[in-house]
Amino acid sequence: MDPFDTLGLPARFDLDEGTIRRAYLAKVGAVHPDAAGGEGEQASALNEARAILSDPERRANALLARLGGPIKESDRSLPDGFLAGMMEVREEVESDLARGGDEARRRWEVWATNRRSEYERRVAEAFAGLGDPPAAAGLRAIRMELNAWRYVERLIEQLDPQYDATREA
C-alpha cells in the first residue's frame, strides 16, 4: 500500500497535517458504509495511510521507499561517530535519571525532542534537494538520517515513565 496514492496526495515530505486530514476525510466519507455502502477494508487502508502520513518519520520512510531508496531493514548505516555519541548520551541519561528523577527526565525529553526536530528539518531539506530522478547517493543519505532519527525516537519512547520494554515489537 502506498499511503500517498491511497489518500490521493502528492508524494512529498512537506505535507502539512491539514492537507492530510482533508484528503483523509474526503476519501473516508466516500467509502463509509452509511454514506456510500463502502467496505470496511477500504476505511482500514485509509486509516493506515493517514497514520503513516501524519507521522513525519513514517512519512519519510514511505516516501523513501516510493522513490526506490533503501529500506531500514536493508540499510542500517549511521553518520560517522553517531553510535559512539549516542552511547555516551545514553550513559549520561541513565546517570542523570538515577540522580535527578523527573527533572532530569524532562531535561532529556527536551534535548531529545530538539534532536528529533533537527532530524526532521534535515530530512525535509534532503528530500527537497533530490533531483528527478533522485540520485542513489541522496536516497542513501536520507536513509542514514532516518536511521539516526530512529535512535532519537527510541530514546524519547524510553524516557516516558510509562515505557514498558516488554511491549516492544
Tens of pLDDT, residue by residue over 78-114, are: 999 999 999 999 999 999 999 988 899 999 999 999 9
Which range has the worst mean pLDDT, 94-98, 121-125, 160-164, 165-169?
Answer: 165-169
pTM of the predicted structure, to 2 decimals: 0.89
- Is-contact 46 4, C-beta < 8 A? no
Which range has the worst mean pLDDT, 13-17, 24-28, 88-92, 163-167?
Answer: 163-167
> What is the Cα–Cα distance from 87 to 166, expressed in whole angstroms?
22
Those residues whose C-beta lies under 8 Å from the C-beta of residue 6, and which sit 6 or more positions away, are 27, 45, 46, 48, 49
Which range has the worst mean pLDDT, 3-7, 14-18, 30-34?
Answer: 30-34
- Is-contact 58 10, C-beta < 8 A? no
pLDDT above 70: residue 132: yes
The three three-digit cell numbers of residue 7, written as one number: 489518500
Q: What is the DSSP string of 98-147?
A: HHHHHHHHHHHHHHHHHHHHHHHHHHHHHHHT--SSPPHHHHHHHHHHHH
